[in-house]
Structure 1
């Protein structure tokens, strides 16, 4: 069997076509299921209609935008290059097309390249680009050479750039040359605390950037150390680089890089969402474990040279990215490494399912909803044993597995990346969408939406639950209805269309406060702009129950959206919307009978400081409000 025949899911699919203004707008749909019965399979399109839906409704709001996107992908490690070169030239070309071609493949658009050796190295020993005999130094970098990469890595990188000219490339070292380090070894130790060494390391990194550019592979981003708190790597290169040392390297590197390669931006940190307990335990006695590493880095003078920070998935959760963004909103966030990993006895079907659902909710959606400008897995391709590797992980998987028989098969990561990279173009901007799921798994629908440079929209939806889930997607005043199998991942795309426009703009409810009767569960969750949280009555619906909001200031609005979220049936069976200027004297704005999870109450232009939603009917269901939204 050839590689091309074994590559399931590498289907040809184009971006959403230009809208016919006379036709009803449609969304195209691609689905991947946990049983592999559908792998980036394009289903029949669905037509937007007028009206409402009884199901939970994902509201996509293009008027609210967040970060721009650089791309999605993995790393073309030394091991990845090795296994790809085990294929025949024709089969290797087909695998590369399936990975990088935006039309015939998934359009991988971001690569994170090791500078020298990592654990995924096919050589017999680890290496950098300036290795000299033990006891010697090379401050003049006379031994510097990227010859190792010229055989396989650079040809593949050049081919990837030809297949996808919009490819972004980041570079990261696992270790500086051993002669720059305490202990004189690539595996472990620290950068020598010597100004001459800091300068030499900065020049080494610039030489790499220049050499790669001369070889036809310009570097867009550069971090100065992979996982700087991993002090005891298991038989592979690594360096303990405390904040003060990373800052000194960056301060030496910044001016040199600006002069030599202005396009290349520096990223700091490049480690986990939270400091791993093992890294805390390995902190030398008397030293700060630096659990706030990225905060310290961005608060110092080196920050002037730093475009932002990079994160990995191996400890903590993506909310750490939003916390850092909130503290330093002018600095970008990139997600740059996560590997699928399996137990030694995991059957393939179990591993595919578990990887798909975890990566879908945590990486594809979780990182991007938390400000990541990229989503990057670890190895692009590995062999059937999860190698070759020299130390480090022995249960990792790549986007593609190359078998001993010359076949290439796609793994779950191929699809979790593909549901983004094939449809979300570099330069796209994340836009607002209500999402009911969490990265910790709550069995709901979770999603993320993007507006492409051509004006089209891509919406990625994951059903966290094991059972099928039905939902609606609302854009402007039109909706589509859909059902996803348990665990499935889907991408919806649609072109810009006059029927999907809206003049309404959401009003932020920052500073709003809430009281409820009954208090039930967490009244403040109704105005936290997070549909995965909710206020719930905690008891059966009854007339007179209410939720009351002090908006914090007088607001003028034309629509109030009462969203009961993902818990089907928790909408009010009858409701009354009232307003007040002082919280004492109330006037009724509207009344109605609840029929759906999302109730949009359209009003004449209304001004008020206080709102109250009162239940006017009885039902056995609890009453929930996941999100209260005002529009003007």
Structure 2
């Protein structure tokens, strides 16, 4: 008989990704009147998964590297990146320069006001050497399957109309130089033993922050930058790093479509990247349907005070795990790996974000947040190279998503989105079983 392992999280937090007694599959069901029947069909195959994880922002890397004793740091890294001891994260989205979660604004080519360096003679990743690069190398050592993507929040200030990291737009005469900036970054990181799997062009190109690095990048500007500058620059340099467009919310699918449907730009682009702060998951399917040869990546969803823990935040994040992958995403990526007791370090005057873990600046005490467990429901069990397979889902009731790993194992994630315990039957080609899932709980099955 096939045996099924499972790990559950309950809405009261009593069980947190906790191993449950083994289940035995039967050839025939002993209860035919179950309301929810989740048929898992391995013959029905969708996207190949790339990975699951979060971001070693400047703030996160500083806390993990500088505020933890060596033993605590090594343990946390295993809890993050080792699938046996922890949740086996397999993707990192790394800011190229400062994001909002940094103690100061910086790029890899900062100059005094009025300066220019069109040949990038002063380009340097020196800022990242003391605490970001060591952690990335350690993460890769623990999980060699780890993929690292990179996203800039802003070009160097002198390349922009604002003359600074905040605001402005990319000056047209700097397009070619900015493409060379990406090449230099990728080459510099690879020389440090850190291959860059993919880049996006601009974090949240439709939003102009007032307190942190950012800029507006219109879809036509992104299209032209990729088509005539970045794509050819990668080609000339032999760069294999994937180019992803957009990297913003579900509510403006017209932006990635403008870029992806341009015949010159699309030949350089692997697909589009998405955030969760506006619109609905189905926008990713809309773009995928229009461009079926281009991939979808879900690259940022932060936990924070706007969705209160535990209950609301847990349900929200389990919805992202299931619905983003059901809408073709090859990844699920939360935001900061770690923040301190003030939700920083940050350049923001008021931060309401939450990391996967909290690290107290004075004591070094580590607090594991619910975001760690929601990520673990997928990252610990679904490995890069897995393929999403067919499963029946009941929207806003008993939702599911299923995967077949390269080793032949099957993973099924189920979220009960109702306030009552729900009984469902799982039907597979290997057998069937009945399960009763607690109100608003989530469970990952593996067999």
**Same fold? TM cut 0.5:** yes
TM-score, normalised relative to structure 2: 0.96
SS of the aligned residue for 1:28 comes to strand
Q: Paired residue for 1:338? A: 301
Shift of 1:258: 3.1
Q: Paired residue for 2:210? A: 234
Say yes or no: does 1:298 pair with 2:260. Answer: yes
Residues 352 and 411 of structure 1 are in contact (CA less than 8 Å); yes or no, is this contact kept in structure 2? no
Q: Paired residue for 1:41? A: 18
Q: Paired residue for 1:390? A: 347
Paired residue for 1:402, among 359, 362, 368?
A: 359
Paired residue for 2:55, among 50, 75, 82?
A: 75
Shift of 1:50: 2.3
Q: Paired residue for 1:425? A: 383
Q: Paired residue for 2:39? A: 59
Say yes or no: does 1:118 pair with 2:99. Answer: yes
Q: Paired residue for 1:500? A: none
Which consecutive unaligned segments of at least 5 residues does structure 1 have?
Answer: 1-23, 276-290, 495-632
CA distance in 1, matches of 2:313, 2:359: 18
Call closer, same or farther: CA 1:244–1:393 in 2, change over 3 Å: farther
Say yes or no: does 1:352 pair with 2:305. Answer: no
Hey, which of these two has a bigger chunk of helix by percent? 2
Residues 119 and 392 of structure 1 are in contact (CA less than 8 Å); yes or no, is this contact kept in structure 2? no
Residues 234 and 391 of structure 1 are in contact (CA less than 8 Å); yes or no, is this contact kept in structure 2? no
Which consecutive unaligned segments of at least 5 residues does structure 2 have?
Answer: none
**Greater alpha carbon shift after TM alignment, 475-484 vs 91-100:** 475-484
SS of the aligned residue for 1:169 comes to strand
Call closer, same or farther: CA 1:393–1:294 in 2, change over 3 Å: farther
Paired residue for 1:218, among 179, 186, 195?
A: 195
Say yes or no: does 1:166 pair with 2:124. Answer: no
Shift of 1:476: 2.1
Q: 1:598-620 CA deviation, whole Å, 9 max, x = no partner?
A: xxxxxxxxxxxxxxxxxxxxxxx
CA distance in 1, matches of 2:47, 2:185: 29
Say yes or no: does 1:98 pair with 2:83. Answer: no
Shift of 1:393: 6.2
Q: Paired residue for 1:249? A: 225
SS of the aligned residue for 1:423 comes to coil
Q: 1:251-293 CA deviation, whole Å, 9 max, x = no partner?
A: 2111222343533010001100014xxxxxxxxxxxxxxx611
Shift of 1:431: 0.1
Q: 1:473-514 CA deviation, whole Å, 9 max, x = no partner?
A: 0002721111111111110000xxxxxxxxxxxxxxxxxxxx
Shift of 1:35: 1.4
Question: What is the CA RMSD across the aligned residues, in angstroms?
Answer: 1.3
**Greater alpha carbon shift after TM alignment, 305-314 vs 388-397:** 388-397
Shift of 1:409: 1.8
CA distance in 2, matches of 1:169, 1:377: 14
CA distance in 2, matches of 1:83, 1:132: 27
Residues 234 and 392 of structure 1 are in contact (CA less than 8 Å); yes or no, is this contact kept in structure 2? no
Residues 112 and 336 of structure 1 are in contact (CA less than 8 Å); yes or no, is this contact kept in structure 2? yes
Residues 51 and 477 of structure 1 are in contact (CA less than 8 Å); yes or no, is this contact kept in structure 2? no
Equivalent residue runs for 1:207-606 within 5 Å: 207-231=184-208, 233-251=209-227, 252-275=229-252, 292-300=254-262, 301-342=264-305, 351-361=309-319, 363-391=320-348, 394-403=351-360, 404-437=362-395, 442=396, 444-476=397-429, 478-494=431-447
Q: Paired residue for 2:128? A: 149
Q: Paired residue for 1:511? A: none
Q: Paired residue for 1:193? A: 172
Q: 1:120-167 CA deviation, whole Å, 9 max, x = no partner?
A: 002xx3000001111110001011000000000000000000010000
CA distance in 2, matches of 1:58, 1:260: 49
Shift of 1:395: 0.7
Q: Paired residue for 1:205? A: 182
CA distance in 2, matches of 1:476, 1:159: 40
**Greater alpha carbon shift after TM alignment, 303-312 vs 466-475:** 466-475
Tell which has more relative contact order, 1 or 2 (C-alpha 8 A, sep 6+): 2
Residues 429 and 451 of structure 1 are in contact (CA less than 8 Å); yes or no, is this contact kept in structure 2? yes
Q: 1:547-600 CA deviation, whole Å, 9 max, x = no partner?
A: xxxxxxxxxxxxxxxxxxxxxxxxxxxxxxxxxxxxxxxxxxxxxxxxxxxxxx
SS of the aligned residue for 1:305 comes to coil
Call closer, same or farther: CA 1:192–1:155 in 2, change over 3 Å: same
TM-score, normalised relative to structure 1: 0.68
SS of the aligned residue for 2:171 comes to coil
Residues 7 and 443 of structure 2 are in contact (CA less than 8 Å); yes or no, is this contact kept in structure 1? yes
Residues 423 and 437 of structure 2 are in contact (CA less than 8 Å); yes or no, is this contact kept in structure 1? yes
CA distance in 1, matches of 2:393, 2:349: 36
Q: 1:533-554 CA deviation, whole Å, 9 max, x = no partner?
A: xxxxxxxxxxxxxxxxxxxxxx
Hey, which of these two has a bigger chunk of strand by percent? 1
SS of the aligned residue for 2:286 comes to helix
SS of the aligned residue for 2:169 comes to coil
Q: 1:308-358 CA deviation, whole Å, 9 max, x = no partner?
A: 000000000100000111000000000000101115xx9xxx612211111
**Greater alpha carbon shift after TM alignment, 452-461 vs 247-256:** 247-256
